[in-house]
Amino acid sequence: MFESILNFIDSLVLPIVKNYPPAIGILIFSLGVSLISNIATKLLVDQERVRELKEEIKKFQKKYKLATKDPEALKKLQEEQEKMMALNAELMRLSFKPMIYTFVPIILIFIYMKHLYGFNGLYHQLYPDWNGVVVYLPIIISKIMLLDFWHWLGSVFYHGGFKVVPNALGWLGWYIMSSMVCSTILRKILGIK
């Protein structure tokens, strides 16, 4: 049954995989995942309450920063600090609420993207000469992003598959970059704090 579901999904996605480079396909996935998580946040989180909590916490942090020079004022703020910890906990609860609903679908989408763009994945089977590179980066950007470190870390946990190509991102690296951009843009459009 699982295989028939996977084959059905493959038949829907195959036109994108065949007709577009992996960077575009992964960008579409990242836009979709960002849209799902941001809409869930918009619907499930009281944005006004988030704004209020962030303002209160910011005010307290300013007061605390000024009070670090005055032991008397710092003592007064110790009492207020418990309230701020409770507000921080509430803010964290609010921000985790959408994750309850989106975690499993997003994990399934990740597994599916690995099925499409990972080593011996669907794209690799269609184009056997593909080396796993989704995008090449300018050297300076790859240095800023510590790409060599991430390649090394990946080699520690993952053996086999595509060879490491300097200054290049595979499907996961490109997904992370594009989802950060997509998510930021969608948060602005949807007015999410």
pLDDT in tens, 28-78: 999 999 999 999 999 999 989 999 999 998 988 888 887 777 777 777 777
Predicted pLDDT at 160: 67
- Over 80: is that where the pLDDT of 161 sits? no
Farthest CA pair distance, the chain? 70
SS3 47: helix
- Over 80: is that where the pLDDT of 157 sits? no
User: Both tokens of residue 157?
Assistant: 């946990």
pLDDT per residue over 134-156, tens digit each?
999 888 888 888 888 888 877 77
Predicted pLDDT at 147: 83
